Structure 1
Amino acid sequence: MVGIDDSNDDDLLFNKSEISIPRPVRFWLLLLLDVPSIICAFFVLYHLLMDRTLRQQLNNHTIIILLVLGFTIQLIDIPLNLSFISHMGVVEPSSPILCLIWWFIDVGYYNGITIIMAWGSFERHILVFYDQWTSTRRKRLIIHYFPLIILLCYINIFYFGVIFFPPCNNVYVYTLPVCNNFPCYLNDAILGKWDSIMNSILPTTLISFFVVTLLIRVYRQKRRLNQPIRWRKQRKLIIQLVPISILYTSVNIPLNIIIFAHLCGLANKTGADVQLYCDFLCYLVVMLFPFLCLGFVSELRKKTNLRQLFLPRTQRRVGATRNT
């Protein structure tokens, strides 16, 4: 196997196509975060799917889809990165089909998360201000379920087509992470720009826009109307959305600014290091997402009973005695 120290060319590739964080540090960082995150994601998904009350709440459906897409990245994409590092910087097994699957999960599902997140941010306006639009089964089917089904079909069909059946010849670099993470369709004048703009830049912009406008609308309504019961419902929906949106946009905004600048003619070398770090931070976003769900979905927070877990037994007994 070819290691990073075997030639000057490999060192040059490493400097250009990998972040400067040493591979052992990246390995342990990914491993120590991914394992508990997978456990947390499984716990959250189990309760969201098995608990009928949680499963029927429309606001949880977007979270479920985001968790499933992220869970796939955690089970396939991140372990492949760990394998790449453990094999001294070589993709094993070095086969085109592995690279294609890796690209499909890494590029397609992460952009898919951004697209679903953009829809979820828009839909939150409907759930907060126009809940009558989802008051009947037919309305829920048209307003809620159809858009999610259409978006999921689009994500899988588009990325399956451009990655497995591209209008060009892919180049697989087995000595770089994610086989160089550059499917050839990205160089296509139409497909590349469509993917960058419609599947990444636009959804990220919409997430920011919808979250900010939601906060403004809720603030204005809260000042104008004195409805504590309705405000509690709105507060719950907002608390779920805002932290998740901040998590995604904190990485996606700088990443997409660089992508947009490159589309506008900025030299590819400019900002390349920042883009590599943002690509790596996308893994952290995926791994932190289940913990945010656990912390900001109130029903799940109650199920974990973390306060009781960390309180001494004597203090718990005293609290129970006082309550009785």
Structure 2
Amino acid sequence: MTTNNSFEDNDNNQVAFHAFERSIPRPIRFWLLLLLDIPSIICSLFLLFHLLTNKNLRCQIINHLMIVILIIGLIIELVDITFYLKFLHSGIVQPSIPFICMLWWFIDLGLYNGFTIIMAWSSLHRYLFIFHEKIFMQGKKRFVFHYLPLIILLLYILIFYIYVIIFPPCKNTFDYALPVCNNYPCYLDNVVLGIWDSVVNGILPIFIICIFSVTILIRVHYQKRRLVNQRNQWRRQRKMMIQLISSSILYLIPNIPLNVSIFAHLCGVLESVAVEVERRMVRPDAKQHLTIQYGALSLCHGIFQPVAI
């Protein structure tokens, strides 16, 4: 691996970063991010405490994905955001060693994309839970449709990002003068790995979230007429739909423009515009808003009045 502490190989990124610095002063970003991070961590810990210590909540399979999502979000809050706050304070990645950069990349890229993948599975899982809940009643089917996919996805996320970031098939270059060490592991220049990561780990999960959120919205709307004599069941479906749609909207607002720009960049369409959008949107600040809102949303939508199964 090689290490680069100069500005020579990253002129475009440096220009974009300093332009961003001028538009939003560093002290403002530091204090804003810190003030957002603290309540987000408290909210995540509060929710996890009740989900893990309350047996009724812990045993309900609808909460298992929530626990995984909250844990991933908490790691991002504690590591990714802390590193970024330290960078804003000192103006350089500290300590300036490759291990810190690879750890930051793993959290910032790997866990964030992993968060997206789990969110996508959560959308599909919620669809199955609302309209085909009988498959979760039987032991074998419950394992196949609930536990096995989650285990496979978590293993995939860990193995893929450990390989491409920790043991890449190329030489990484680290720029300690940029946040997240320039946030550009060498595998992104690999045709196969770069496209796979962008499309399969980024764009596809966003597409899945959109499809199943809209599908649930439509089906629950039409179920209202059919279940006219089963109001409790319809209210239950509606409650779960609101939880999914609300969290999906909050998640998709910053991610759809970003992934559209990435797709345009991959296709060579409006490349300069796409790159600029990516530079401006791939910020830990934006990710932090997601984790805060998702944690608050989880609390507001009746985490203590769960749907039993």
Deviates more, 1:222-231 or 1:104-113: 222-231
Report what 2:258 is aligned to: 255
- The root-mean-square deviation of aligned C-alpha atoms, in Å, is 2.1
Query: Which residue, 290, 293, 299 being the options, matches 1:294?
Result: 299
- Which SS does the other structure have where 2:191 is aligned? coil
Report the identity percentage.
50
Paired amino acid for 2:213: V
**Which of the numbers 36, 39, 47 marks the counterpart of 2:39?**
36
Deviation at 1:287, TM superposition (A): 2.8
Q: Distance in 1 between matches of 2:150 and 2:291?
A: 20
Alpha-carbon shift at residue 140 of structure 1 (Å): 1.2
Q: TM-score, normalised by structure 1?
A: 0.86
Count of residue pairs the alignment pairs up: 295
Picking from 58, 63, 68, the partner of 1:60 is 63
Inter-partner Cα distance in structure 2 for 1:13 and 1:276: 8
> Is the 2:69–2:118 Cα contact (8 Å) retained in structure 1?
yes
CA drift of 1:300 comes to 6.7
Deviation at 1:8, TM superposition (A): 11
TM-score (norm 2): 0.90
Q: Does 1:242 align with 2:216?
A: no
Any conservation in 1 of the 2:265–2:275 contact (CA below 8 Å)?
Answer: no
Match of 2:288 in 1: 283
One-letter amino acid matched to 2:152: I
Alignment deviations for residues 96-145 of structure 1 (CA, whole Å, 9 cap, x no partner): 00000000000000000110010110111111111110112222111101
- 1:267 is displaced (CA, Å) by 5.3
SS of the equivalent of 1:110 reads helix
Q: Which has the higher contact order (CA 8 A, sep 6+)?
A: 2
Moved segments of 4+, more than 6 Å: 7-12
- In structure 1, what is the Cα distance between the partners aligned to 2:65 and 2:82? 25
Q: Is there any run of 5+ residues in structure 2 with no aligned partner, and where?
A: 1-6
8 A Cα contact 1:294 1:300, kept in partner? no
**Residues 135-194 of structure 1, C-alpha deviations (whole Å, 9 max, x = no match):** 122221111010001000000110011000111111100000000001110010100000
Q: Which of 1 and 2 has greater Rg?
A: 1
CA contact (8 A) 1:91 1:175 kept: yes
Asked whether 1:224 is paired with 2:226, we answer yes
Question: Which has the larger displacement, 135-144 or 267-276?
Answer: 267-276
Change (3 A) 1:148 1:10: closer
Q: Which residue of structure 2 aligns with residue 17 of structure 1? A: 17
Could you tell me which amino acid in structure 1 is paired with residue 171 of structure 2? N
The correspondence for 1:201, drawn from 198, 203, 206, is 203
